[in-house]
Structure 1
């Protein structure tokens, strides 16, 4: 009888020890969850607010910003993937920020000897991290826009509808590159500031 009692006590102590070890390893505790939202995700800027101040308040550097926060800004996302930031339901409640890419885009047309030269600007309702990301990744954006522009027929770009379609394609290209490089899109619209076909 004593032998059975000793075996039962040893089993109980062994079970308690194993349970304690599993508890200490975090097996039974609530799993730690990271932040529910990525702190690097650009935020909407309300009308009357300053997009740069909002970005600084959420972690972006100011003047002299070297792009380190932008390059990692989306680090919660897997490389090559990202999310589209939604367009506000009521855009008039938010501050639009505009940015013009400095150099024009010049490309031959796909079906003639003509060439197109366009200058573009973009707008976002999000903080300056979106604009800083465009500046940081301008070469990738420029390359993709030029490749797409070279595939366009002259007749299409000569019509208002063709130009609207081109705006949409450029918006998709920019947002896709931003999602790949930073984890987030954020461009709401593309504007032509110069459009010449010769």
Structure 2
């Protein structure tokens, strides 16, 4: 009888130990999850407050893209002594991401003044297009487009000279050209400023003759 009670007590004690271990593990996991959440939140906060002032910022609806850009430039000048090698990143360049919710941000549009005119490959025809660009970032993106317009224009004309009349005469061909223009403009900006930021390209005139 005593042996049976001892066995029962041992089993009962073992059950308590298992229960304690399980509860401890759950508590540990819960604490780990809370810690992970804390660090994730802290990381997001850190990312938000440590944005590179040398790169354009997204502009919320109702904000002034010129004012946002000027304030960021002022901060960049203040931190200039600490941010060594910022200019060395220009050759690498980064893509400024399109906002996940574009409707929450202010779009700025800019018409490139002169049209682009180029002969087309394997044809006597030529194409003349006028384009505008848009960005959700502050005025530094548009400023960069105007500053580096000659480089952008040269790259676009070289690309257009390789286009075919039959392709550009179709809606699909025009859409493909629009995508190429967007890439060329952003690539040129990245090479010269370290960032892109142009969100879209629009045709304001399109003639093939």
Could you say whether these structures have the same fold, taking a TM-score greater than 0.5 normalized by the shorter chain as the test?
yes
Matched, 1:45 2:49: no
Deviations along 1:67-90, one digit per CA (max 9) or x if unpaired, are xxxxxxx93553421000000000
Distance, in Å, in 2 between the alignment partners of 1:77 and 1:36 is 19
Question: 151, 155, 161: which one pairs with 2:166?
Answer: 155
Distance in structure 2 (CA, Å) of the matches to 1:45 and 1:195: 30
Q: What's the counterpart of residue 179 of structure 2?
A: 168
For the 8 Å contact 1:75–1:183, the answer to whether it is kept is: no
- Unpaired stretches in structure 2, ≥5 consecutive residues: 1-48, 75-84
SS at match of 2:205: strand
Q: Is the 8 A contact 2:120 2:126 kept in 1?
A: yes
Which sits farther off after the overlay, 36-45 or 138-147?
Answer: 36-45
SS of match in other structure, 1:176? helix
Q: List runs of 5+ in structure 1 lacking aligned partners.
A: 1-34, 61-73
Q: CA deviation at 1:55?
A: 0.6
How far the C-alpha of 1:36 sits from its partner, in A, is: 4.8
CA RMSD of superposed structures (Å)? 1.6
Structure 1 residues 1-150: aligned runs within 5 Å? 36-59=50-73, 75-150=86-161
Q: Is the 8 A contact 2:94 2:194 kept in 1?
A: yes
- TM-aligned CA deviation for residue 138 of structure 1: 0.2
- With the length of structure 2 as denominator, give the TM-score of the two structures: 0.69
Task: Sort the Cα spacing of 1:77 and 1:83 in 2 relative to 1 into closer, same or farther, 3 A.
Answer: farther
Number of equivalent positions: 151
Q: CA deviation at 1:126?
A: 0.1
TM-score, L = length of structure 1: 0.73
